């Protein structure tokens, strides 16, 4: 990620994960209140397959005004080692810790835009 401007990387990831960056006070406040690491973490949670992540980054980069394709390429080079090669979502394996039994989900409702992470003990 040394090859790119961190603010431009945040703008690109924000545009991909939330909505196209408009340069508004609200968008600027969001970018100031979130670290690049936070956006990358959300990106990894949203895009589990490398090819999907790569395509989405290039697509949003082309749609933004300015030279965001260079930023997308820098992010792609940085994230590539964190992905394993799988052909499809059906090839993914979910590993549960041995001490935690799977729980049957009967309903789900999201009231906020906040992300939560599971806690394993």
17 within some domain = yes
46 within some domain = yes
Report percent pLDDT > 70 for the chain: 67
Domain enclosing residue 75, as ranges:
6-91
Number of domains observed in the structure of the chain: 1
d(CA 51, CA 56): 8
Is a pLDDT exceeding 90 seen at residue 96? no
At which residue do the structure tokens 């340069």 appear?
23
- The string of pLDDT tens digits covering residues 23-68 is 899 999 999 999 999 999 999 999 999 999 999 999 999 999 888 9
Give residue 9's pLDDT: 95
Indicate yes or no: pTM above 0.75: no
105 within some domain = no
51 within some domain = yes
Give residue 117's pLDDT: 56
């Amino acid at each position: 990620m040394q090859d790119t401007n961190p603010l431009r990387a945040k703008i690109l990831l924000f545009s991909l994960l939330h909505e196209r960056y408009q340069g508004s006070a609200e968008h600027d406040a969001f970018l100031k209140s979130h670290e690049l690491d936070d956006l990358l973490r959300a990106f990894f949670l949203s895009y589990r397959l490398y090819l999907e992540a790569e395509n989405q980054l290039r697509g949003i980069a082309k749609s933004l005004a300015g030279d965001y394709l260079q930023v997308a390429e820098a992010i792609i080079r940085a994230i590539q080692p964190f992905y394993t090669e799988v052909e499809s979502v059906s090839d993914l394996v979910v590993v549960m810790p041995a001490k935690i039994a799977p729980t049957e989900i009967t309903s789900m409702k999201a009231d906020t835009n906040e992300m939560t992470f599971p806690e394993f003990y």
